[in-house]
Structure 1
């Protein structure tokens, strides 16, 4: 309930941000929000799921990740080898970087932070410690797509790849995102994707189930391993997540003029429509483009005359997102906020809670929850 309360307060402050003309107060509020979020998340105890791997990695080098991340974490540990110190430093870097990115593209920065926090932002910051660095570096590189400067674009995203390999998907975006696609083509893909999703046709699953024995053993094994990510229990139908994509697609299609942000949203939507049968794979690829939802929603408020309509949509989408994620049984256990100054770090207690919560993993399929598999 703690984070639902924070999201609610952020939304209310975001509404004030929209209608108030006192820029000085809004600037102070935004800085206060940043400081508060950095303190709350930086001094958290063992929150979420992935700390179970990142904590021993930072303290003992138990788990080895991409070189960029390992260098980054070792530089922090070289200053002071304390996990809370690490969290404070990395959270501060993330939020200051997000501040500058959101400020560049959005007029209503407080509302942008509220939307970010509610639509996967909290979980990305808590769980995906490597991914978020790659995402932020990519967001900084968007300006170089606009300016057609390929070298700084590739430098930033190669650094991003050194934090998380999934960021390799960002490299071709230099050639993809700034293109003005015909609206009819985009609409055809969206309608086709909707039919594919709503019909619950499992084309990828059928493809994986084919006999691949004619391939070299290493490739056959890779394809067979993908079966682990396919849940037979996912029924794709008209649901909240589909409705959310329809709303955001319509907003981007009708109002967004920035090709890069609009195309990013289209990619995010298409990943969902065409690959959601793979659940976690779809989510982990889709999260690379979830930033588009933060921008499209916030910028739509600027562009639509009836601001109350868009604010209602924001409340509906953000409220559903944050509640659905935090009221999931496994997250009720693992997202119970405990500040280190009051509760300390109780490894054994949280380890037992993580083990207990894993019984709910299968229930998370298709619910877009960034939890450890």
Structure 2
């Protein structure tokens, strides 16, 4: 039953998807569809209660944050010396915490603000690049959007700033690209992975290389061949600091370095890889811009490579694939756009059932028990009770 609100959300977007196509077939404007999609999204995520796990990190952070008139508190908050590991976060996010705390001391203000910023970014992104506006929102919900929206309050800002900077890769404007992602790294250190993208994301990868890497990745995945841990530790030591600590921590924690195995997710990724590259030329004809085509296909290639090659390190799959999952949101919309009418019907039916499956699979636990402050009364006491009671069940099942 915990999945029901998410299934309802999916159905609302699915109806908007059908309505959008009806309007497009008539040549009508879809502005009303865009507004409704943004409003539904913002109400559902912006006014949510305490969902999943990362609120347990961000709530105490928000409590620690000073207001803008507390100069001593601000100096301590931004100092580089902290006994509390929670305060060892990026300065850009600290600025947001201080500004929001000065407006409203309620932690839920942070969630409202985060979702408002995210929906504006998504609207910009889908208007600019997607031929199917609502379908891209649906793909966002199905592929990593829920975890991005609910848990990744810092990461999401770095990801969306990178998405915004894609235009500068296309235009070959290095200054604007690095400024954008320089701001992103002030919100989350994972943005460092975006910096090299400027130099090759717009270039076409030869198809023999693409398929060769795909086959090798599947061989490593299916064979469960372990080779990453020594590389992770060496790279962490090279960069030092927080990266060294993260590498050591993840390598020694079975929660993070467990392997992925054959599943519906694996089969979906194999199918998606094959089908998207089979439709490469048709999608290219639809996009009509080689740089844009290469940017999204190369991002998808990095997503797939990360999944297949990092199977022994589940945390790497979760973290790195999330950086490039935006390619799904756009390429699936283009795939639908280039299909013949009868195949569009098949796509729609598969989308309906797969979407329901994903909403159930991703949300069928008490930590995703949905509450909304507009009609419920979520409390931090109840949230902590459920979190503490169920943490081991979900994240340390072998603990007795």
Q: Which runs of no fewer than 5 residues in structure 2 stay unpaired?
A: 66-83, 285-292
How far apart in 1 are the matches of 2:153 and 2:195? Answer: 20
**Aligned mate of 2:339, from 285, 293, 304:** 304
Match of 1:6 in 2: 9
Match of 2:304 in 1: 269
Match of 2:18 in 1: 15
Match of 1:38 in 2: 42
How far apart in 2 are the matches of 1:39 and 1:220? Answer: 40
**Aligned mate of 1:115, from 131, 139, 142:** 139
Q: Cα distance, 1:202 vs. partner?
A: 2.0
Structure 1 moving runs of 4+ over 6 Å: 208-211, 217-222
Q: 1:102 aligned to 2:137?
A: no
RMSD over aligned CA atoms reads 2.8
TM-score between both structures, scaled by the size of structure 2: 0.81
How far apart in 2 are the matches of 1:121 and 1:210? Answer: 30
Q: Cα distance, 1:208 vs. partner?
A: 7.2
Match of 1:133 in 2: 157
Would you say the 8 A contact 2:46–2:111 is kept in 1? Answer: yes
Number of equivalences? 356
Would you say the 8 A contact 2:5–2:370 is kept in 1? Answer: yes
Match of 1:349 in 2: 382
The secondary structure found in structure 1 opposite 2:310 is helix
How far apart in 1 are the matches of 2:64 and 2:27? Answer: 47
How far apart in 2 are the matches of 1:25 and 1:135? Answer: 30
How far apart in 2 are the matches of 1:166 and 1:222? Answer: 12
Match of 1:55 in 2: 59
Q: Cα distance, 1:227 vs. partner?
A: 2.6
Match of 1:371 in 2: none
**Aligned mate of 2:325, from 290, 293, 298:** 290
Would you say the 8 A contact 2:296–2:331 is kept in 1? Answer: yes
Match of 1:155 in 2: 179
Q: Relative to structure 1, is the Cα distance of residues 24 and 122 closer, same or farther in structure 2, using a 3 angstrom cutoff?
A: farther
How far apart in 2 are the matches of 1:232 and 1:72? Answer: 29
How far apart in 2 are the matches of 1:60 and 1:231? Answer: 28
How far apart in 2 are the matches of 1:49 and 1:56? Answer: 13
Deviations 1:23-70 (A, max 9, x none): 657321221121122122222111221111111211223732200111
How far apart in 2 are the matches of 1:250 and 1:56? Answer: 45
Deviations 1:261-280 (A, max 9, x none): 00000100000001121112
Q: Relative to structure 1, is the Cα distance of residues 223 and 156 closer, same or farther in structure 2, using a 3 angstrom cutoff?
A: closer
How far apart in 2 are the matches of 1:284 and 1:177? Answer: 19
Greater mean alpha carbon deviation, residues 15-24 or residues 261-270: 15-24
Greater mean alpha carbon deviation, residues 300-309 or residues 280-289: 300-309
Match of 2:194 in 1: 170
Q: Relative to structure 1, is the Cα distance of residues 299 and 220 closer, same or farther in structure 2, using a 3 angstrom cutoff?
A: closer
The correspondence of residues 203-352 of structure 1 with structure 2, limited to 5 A, is: 203-205=227-229, 207=230, 224-230=248-254, 236-255=260-279, 256-257=283-284, 258-305=293-340, 306-327=343-364, 332-352=365-385
Q: Relative to structure 1, is the Cα distance of residues 308 and 166 closer, same or farther in structure 2, using a 3 angstrom cutoff?
A: same
Would you say the 8 A contact 2:256–2:313 is kept in 1? Answer: no
Would you say the 8 A contact 1:47–1:336 is kept in 2? Answer: yes
Deviations 1:181-210 (A, max 9, x none): 1100110000100111011222225x4799
Greater mean alpha carbon deviation, residues 318-327 or residues 294-303: 318-327
Q: Cα distance, 1:83 vs. partner?
A: 2.2
Greater mean alpha carbon deviation, residues 64-73 or residues 132-141: 64-73
Q: Cα distance, 1:289 vs. partner?
A: 0.8
Q: Relative to structure 1, is the Cα distance of residues 176 and 209 closer, same or farther in structure 2, using a 3 angstrom cutoff?
A: closer
How far apart in 2 are the matches of 1:209 and 1:30? Answer: 43
